[in-house]
Structure 1
Amino acid sequence: MLATSATTLAPPDQKNGDQLPLPVLENYDVSSRNGFVPFPQPLPRLTQAYYQPWEEIMDQLNSLMDSRQLRSRVDQLPLLNIGQLKTGPEQKRAYTLLCIMAHSYVWGSGLDIAQSIPEPLAVPWQAIADVIDIPPVLSYAGNNLWNWKLKDLNGSYDPENLIALSTMTGTSDEDWFDIISVAVEIEGGSALQPLLEAMQAVRADGLQEVTDKLKIALPRLERVGKLLARMFENCEPAVFYWKIRKFLSGSENMAALGLPNGLEYKGVNNNERKHYMGATAGQSSLFPALDIIFGIEHYNASSDNNNSKNKAPNALLVKMREFMPGSHRGLLDHLAKVANLRPYILSKSGPDSKSASEAVKELAAAFDACVHQIKLFRDTHIQVVTRYIMTQARRGPPEGWEDYRVKTDKLQRPVAVANGSGVDKAQKGEEEDEPAIQGTGGSDLMPFLKNNRDDTNAAKVESVIKK
């Protein structure tokens, strides 16, 4: 479930009169077909015999957890070196393996929460994370972007033809939860190339071409929200909240779930204790990229909105960047230096320009239509979060699910960890009545999501055109 990341729109860099070139997606490990998701698909298995001890545990992961044997098997693993992982797909597969094994190790024995990661996992996990430039914790990249395959290699990228390579609960609900995010990423990612072409057309002052490229991106952005709404088809809210959610939790602010002091990484920097945010769709790079391209800005609620110099980017969204792969962060940084669509439209239709022509109005309408689809996506995200987190947080676990009961201080409200889902209040006005529930970054979840949605709507240029 997807969220957004903060950025402040920056003007193109100028050096000796030359503009910074627009980014080439492939230079940042991004596909013009699938966006931030590997094309055609991630590596499904490490083939080197040396790494088969990892793959063999993954083959039996769910049965080992059910029989409470996972920890003993992991404790007996040999300490493997990552030196044989030569390619990007191999490194991503290893990172994903270690992420899922480690979080299964910590959370997979009911109320008995492991307080440390054993050396056979912690040491190679830290090493491969350093290579990818991402923290050693289950992230959105490890759980979603690099953890799927096509059922039919010649088929579509629709959810029906996608399946997760590994799940920590072994449920079809978790598989669907992961796959819907992958489908959203692929559909939304396919809009990036035409949007870059629109940015290139801006540089040539090709007004009609900018409009045409936005119209190509529009139906792809429209399908993104519709794909997210399909979450409700095959993922039960109670299964998500009480069985799946805890596995996505990190080691930061997790006292309520049984990790009061973070996690000890055995064999890493003198058994260093780490405190990391868990997996959340806020770590997706797709919507931060769209925010930058369309000039959608997110600020701290306490920022002085009347003084642009005092506006501070939303701290939680900035923090999310730390949990994206380094190459993807690089693309976001590059985009922030060259984004030009909204300034271009405002220059054609703002107070300093002549009255807007029909062509400019058409351009602005295409721009606003794209922004509106991002806003609708965030509406749907709020609906998802309400059903899957807010509503479930008010209820206890179904009878017989005691292993999944959340430990909370009786003097505090229940704490829910947001990890890729969204929230709704659309049903019977729930949105206004929900108790404050924290996300993984320590922010009240519903105000955070609603602010992101409202920030999106505010980026439309229609009001300027009407002047």
Structure 2
Amino acid sequence: MIATTTAVPILHLHQEENKPCADLLPVPVLEDYDISPITGFVPHDQPLPRLLQAYFQPWEETMDQLNHLIDSRQLRSKVDQWPVLDVAQLTTLRERQRAYVILSFVAHSYIWGSGLDISQHIPEPLAVPWVAVSDILDIAPVLTYASNDLWNWKLKDPKGPFELENLETLSTMTGTKDEDWFDIVSTAIEIAAGPAFKALIDSIHAVREDNIRTVVENLHLAHVQLDKISKLLPRMFENCDPAVFYWKIRKYLAGSEGTAGLGLFNGLQYNGVGVNKNERRYYMGATAGQSSVFPALDYFFGVTHHELDHNTNTKTAPNALLLKMRGFMPAPHRAFLDHLAQTANLRPFVLSKTATDPESQDVQELIKIYDACVHCIKLFRDNHIQIVTRYILTQAKRGPPEGWEDYRVKIEDQPPVVAKVEEEKPKTTGKVEEEECVGMKGTGGSDLMPFLKGNRDETNAAKIISPVKK
């Protein structure tokens, strides 16, 4: 089943918190799920930069000229003339991922890349292979976080480190340095998580052996990487201008679900697909919520996210949007999360030790490093709220810079667009800005600020010692 919300095992969330997790399943092995202990959910062998078979050159030639074809309004006529290629010619996982990246980028450029003329369909030479390769990969035929960030990067120096300064994207839709930086910061965050996951998997083994010292040592190793992650996101401001992101980049991330306000009125028609050969589909757009990093960290540290019942002001079922986003992750990563949900044992272990021997020096160190790791996740979510405020809320209120009308984002439920702001307004407090953002939608369809604030607050609440006030 492609990109559907499935029942995700959350067994450890319902256990008594003062008892370690039962050893019912073997501990996950990262490599079994296409996860690297070095680069995490992005391929350590690097994404394939090009399909070398001559058969697929019509696709690659279009990617070579993508920015020019978009700017000159020639992309649609180019793609309309493609032959309908058979994805059975793709024989390796990386080839299929590369094909998925190409077709996702071309499709979203075809839909959104001609100013205010939004295409309500994609042609058969694009739709048929896109759906076919998506079916093989078990992922939705839409631009996802996987196609935009996990499988769309390379090392500038192939012998250099997997660090932000040595990373760049393979492709962008706007051709701007801002889009390259926006994507590659996310990729760097993914890579930084790799060694943390190795340490946290080792901590599961140590918990099963009741080895508190080894648990503490592995949490210290994880904390180093989580600290890096919390500091990487603010680097977005270095080379991605908020105006460029909001008015030029953001529309390309939109999917076909809930996008009537953007001009895609009734989903997207996939020509040549389905029984009637013109199937209409609805998918959420690419969003960082489709990253597997933070659901995995939530499982490791026992952070739970629930729906808020506004009638009773109580939290009830698991957060439906987070579960829905899981359907847009690569299939092996979804399977990893399912497995991890049933084997994560760190929080019950820490609570058990806290209850039985709270004065022990080892237990005190365990609590301290556990809370420090959770705090890094909380800080990341703080920074995410700041990013959303500057890159979305502020820009929506200002309106497009002069001459950028073709890049307008017409979201029906955003605050009214006002005239271009010539001078900076006085800075407001973060709390005021957050409140003003209520009602705005993310590219994944979430009510941005309540969703992000809820995730942050639930993370802070997972600390063992009384949570630090925001």
TM-score scaled by length of structure 1: 0.91
Q: Which residue of 1 aligns with 2:65?
A: 60
Q: Which residue of 1 aligns with 2:189?
A: 184
Aligned residues of 1:277 and 1:441 also touching (Cα < 8 A)? yes
Query: Could you tell me the percent identity over the aligned residues?
Result: 63
Q: Which residue of 2 aligns with 1:372?
A: 375
Q: Which residue of 2 aligns with 1:123?
A: 128
CA distance in 2, matches of 1:202, 1:428: 40
Change (3 A) 1:408 1:89: closer
Give 1:19 deviation, angstroms: 2.9
| Corresponding residue to 2:27 among 22, 28, 37 | 22
Asked if 1:330 corresponds to 2:335, the answer is yes
Aligned-residue RMSD, C-alpha: 2.2
Amino acid at match of 2:289: G
Q: Which residue of 1 aligns with 2:18?
A: none
Asked if 1:388 corresponds to 2:395, the answer is no
| Corresponding residue to 1:146 among 148, 151, 155 | 151
Secondary structure class of the residue paired with 1:300:
strand
Secondary structure class of the residue paired with 2:154:
strand
Pairing 1:445-460 to 2, within 5 Å after superposition: 445-460=448-463
CA distance in 1, matches of 2:280, 2:445: 19
Give 1:237 deviation, angstroms: 0.1
Q: Which residue of 2 aligns with 1:401?
A: 404
Asked if 1:235 corresponds to 2:237, the answer is no
Pairing 1:73-88 to 2, within 5 Å after superposition: 73-88=78-93
Q: Which residue of 2 aligns with 1:421?
A: none
Aligned residues of 2:36 and 2:42 also touching (Cα < 8 A)? yes
CA distance in 2, matches of 1:11, 1:338: 11
Aligned residues of 2:438 and 2:447 also touching (Cα < 8 A)? no
Change (3 A) 1:276 1:75: same
Aligned residues of 1:425 and 1:431 also touching (Cα < 8 A)? no
CA distance in 2, matches of 1:240, 1:346: 43
CA distance in 2, matches of 1:195, 1:428: 34
Q: Which runs of 5+ in 2 are unaligned?
A: 1-7, 16-21, 418-426
Amino acid at match of 1:447: P
Q: Which residue of 2 aligns with 1:3?
A: none
Q: Which residue of 2 aligns with 1:345?
A: 350
Change (3 A) 1:414 1:31: farther
Q: Which residue of 2 aligns with 1:362?
A: 365
Aligned residues of 2:268 and 2:281 also touching (Cα < 8 A)? yes
CA-to-aligned-CA distance 1:401-441 (integer Å, 9 cap, x gap):
010112355x97459xxxxxxxx975584223335212244
Aligned residues of 1:292 and 1:339 also touching (Cα < 8 A)? yes
CA-to-aligned-CA distance 1:431-465 (integer Å, 9 cap, x gap):
2333521224443211110110000001111149x
Amino acid at match of 2:244: V
Give 1:358 deviation, angstroms: 1.2
Q: Which residue of 2 aligns with 1:275?
A: 282
CA distance in 2, matches of 1:428, 1:195: 34
Asked if 1:207 corresponds to 2:209, the answer is no
Aligned residues of 1:248 and 1:279 also touching (Cα < 8 A)? yes
CA distance in 2, matches of 1:131, 1:425: 49
- Higher alpha-carbon deviation: 155-164 or 91-100: 155-164
Alignment length, in residue pairs?
Answer: 443
Give 1:12 deviation, angstroms: 11
Give 1:7 deviation, angstroms: 7.5
Amino acid at match of 2:211: G
Aligned residues of 2:414 and 2:439 also touching (Cα < 8 A)? no
Q: Which residue of 1 aligns with 2:308?
A: 301
Secondary structure class of the residue paired with 2:237:
helix
CA distance in 2, matches of 1:297, 1:184: 22
| Corresponding residue to 2:98 among 74, 93, 96 | 93
Q: Which residue of 2 aligns with 1:168?
A: 173
CA distance in 1, matches of 2:429, 2:238: 17
Pairing 1:435-446 to 2, within 5 Å after superposition: 435-446=438-449
CA distance in 1, matches of 2:337, 2:60: 33
Secondary structure class of the residue paired with 2:269:
strand
TM-score scaled by length of structure 2: 0.90
